[in-house]
Amino acid sequence: MQYDILIHDIGELLPMEADGPAKGEEMNQLQVLKDAAVAIQDGKVAWIGKTADARNLSAKKTIHAEGNLVTPGLVEAHTHLVFGGSREKELSLKQQGVDYLEILKQGGGILSTVRATRQASHDDLLSKARFHLDRMLMHGITTVEAKSGYGLDRETELKQLEVVKELKKQHPVDLVSTFLGAHAIPTEYKDDPEKFLQSMEEMFEEIKEENLAEFVDIFTEANVFSVEASRRYLEAAIAKGFQVKIHADEIETLGGTELAVGLGAISAEHLAVTSDEGIKKLGASDTIGVILPGTSFYLGKDSYARAREMIDAGAAIAISTDFNPGSSVTENLQLIMSIAALKLNMSPAEIWHAVTVNAAYAINRGEEAGSIAIGRKADIVIWDAPNHLYIPYHYGVNHVNTVLKNGEIRYRNEGIR
Ligand SMILES: N=CN[C@@H](CCC(=O)O)C(=O)O
Ligand SMILES: [Zn+2]
């Protein structure tokens, strides 16, 4: 038997095999295989063992991992990938102490990206999103969730969702689509948020029929959508067959986390100011907490999600960049891993679960992404790092050496010429 690819001399291999999301204490139990090797056949993982036992295997191509770390491709569970324009001018406003929600209230923030996205053509949005997606892949990410939410009208929301559909065909990274039509109240509905939500709800059927999104999400926040309005909207989404997510307790403690648990949402995301009660409920539920600490950092907040308490309460936690043009402008999930170590006090083992298997379960891809296991897609990262502790430790740079997606090398750091 001749395999397509054999990766050998792996210093540490993290298989991240799991039957479900790692919850509570399980997040701290990491299987680390030393001196390992992995063989790939037809885009799938075909053999895992010791390098010593791989010597008599034959392969068309061999990759020497040089004693480095090898992990599953990272899973990015929360992004706002498709948008027009950029918001660098808001940085000085933030420096003057103008609050994120205040900028939004003044018609800036999300609403300024809405204007740019409405103006952009499908092709412009596509090439811009592709640029960011390439960069994610270069940073070791092989599966990405992408939300709409910068249209806030039928035409532009569909344009964003169509861009993701197109990217699914064109790009090696696997994409998972979420409808976030309820991301902000557009200026034209300023005085009637209920009517606006109604207009987004009217899109559910079409989105379902055209298979444009798997999830429906909402920004449950002060001066945006109340808990009650969110409940009604998400119940309508569930009735149409969607799984739901919530941007919950990001800036003010409204109870979005409790709502997510009560609705059986697949995930509750942000959680920077979740209440004690919310933490308890999350811990006792199957809803995955997707924490976005880059947002707390980038918005200059003192409060970070209480990840420790959530994990101690038994929750399954994922972490993500929240890549978007306003509250977290980075495609580098490795940086978020460092912030999780330093600001969320998560252990390296917990962090690796949070960017692989748990992130995959948070977007309903637990059966296919986030682990290296026989028969699974060979989505694999070879790092320029000796062990799994090293990535959160050495912060702010890209440690990726090679990314394989479906068993093909899609990125290689070739060094300086
Ligand atoms: N908070 C709401 N939505 C995004 C930010 C969007 C933006 O500022 O453009 C978030 O997840 O942080
Ligand atoms: Zn978001």
**184 C-alpha to center of ligand 1: Å?**
9
DSSP 202-255: TTHHHHHHTT--SEEEEEE-TTSB-HHHHHHHHHHHHHTT-EEEEEESSSS--S
Contact partners, residue 370, CB within 8 Å, separation at least 6? 16, 18, 72, 75, 143, 356, 357, 358, 359, 360, 361
Long-range contact set of residues 105-109: C-beta below 8 Å, sequence gap at least 24 = 105/223, 107/187, 109/184, 109/326
Q: How buried is 95 (Cβ within 10 angstroms: 0-12 exposed, 13-18 middle, 19+ buried)?
A: exposed
Q: How many residues does the chain have?
A: 417
Tell me the average pLDDT across 66-93. 97
Q: What is the interface pTM, i.e. ipTM, of the complex?
A: 0.98
Which tens digits make up the pLDDT trace of 2-31?
999 999 999 999 999 999 999 999 999 999
**207 C-alpha to center of ligand 1: Å?**
22
Which tens digits make up the pLDDT trace of 266-300?
999 999 999 999 999 999 999 999 999 999 999 99
- pLDDT recorded at residue 82: 98
Q: With CA atoms as reference, report the closest residue to 338 among 188, 200, 162, 139.
A: 139
Tell me the average pLDDT across 198-211. 98
Could you give the angle at which helices 348-355 and 333-343 cross, rounded to 10 degrees? Answer: 140
Which tokens is 127 given? 């090439």
- pLDDT recorded at residue 334: 99
Q: Is 388 annotated as a binding residue?
A: no
Q: Which residue's CA is minimally distant from atom 2 of ligand 1?
A: 219
Tell me the average pLDDT across 24-51. 98
Q: Which ligand neighbours the alpha carbon of 221 most closely?
A: 1
Q: With CA atoms as reference, report the closest residue to 185 among 245, 256, 246, 105.
A: 105
Tell me the average pLDDT across 179-197. 97
Neighbouring-strand partners of residue 5: 40, 61
Which of the four pLDDT bands, split at 50, 70 and 90, describes residue 359? Answer: very high
- pLDDT recorded at residue 6: 98
Which of the four pLDDT bands, split at 50, 70 and 90, describes residue 42? Answer: very high
**327 C-alpha to center of ligand 1: Å?**
5
Three-class secondary structure of residue 43 per DSSP: coil
d(CA 276, CA 226): 20
Half-sphere exposure of 178 (CA within 13 A, CB side): 30
Which of the four pLDDT bands, split at 50, 70 and 90, describes residue 88? Answer: very high
- pLDDT recorded at residue 124: 98
Q: For residues 154-167, b (16+ Cβ closer than 10 Å) or e, as one string?
A: eebbbbbbbbbbbb
d(CA 64, CA 158): 45
Which of the four pLDDT bands, split at 50, 70 and 90, describes residue 87? Answer: very high
Q: Is 415 annotated as a binding residue?
A: no
Which of the four pLDDT bands, split at 50, 70 and 90, describes residue 379? Answer: very high
Which tens digits make up the pLDDT trace of 311-334?
999 999 999 999 999 999 999 999
Which of the four pLDDT bands, split at 50, 70 and 90, describes residue 99? Answer: very high
Which of the four pLDDT bands, split at 50, 70 and 90, describes residue 398? Answer: very high
| Ligand 1 nearest-atom number relative to CA 104 | 8
- pLDDT recorded at residue 213: 98
Tell me the average pLDDT across 389-403. 98
88-92, 122-126, 156-160, 396-400: range with lowest mean pLDDT: 88-92
Mean of the per-residue pLDDT values of the chain? 97
Residues in contact with ligand 1 (CB, 6 Å cut-off): 80, 109-110, 113, 219, 247, 250, 295, 322, 324-327
d(CA 1, CA 39): 11
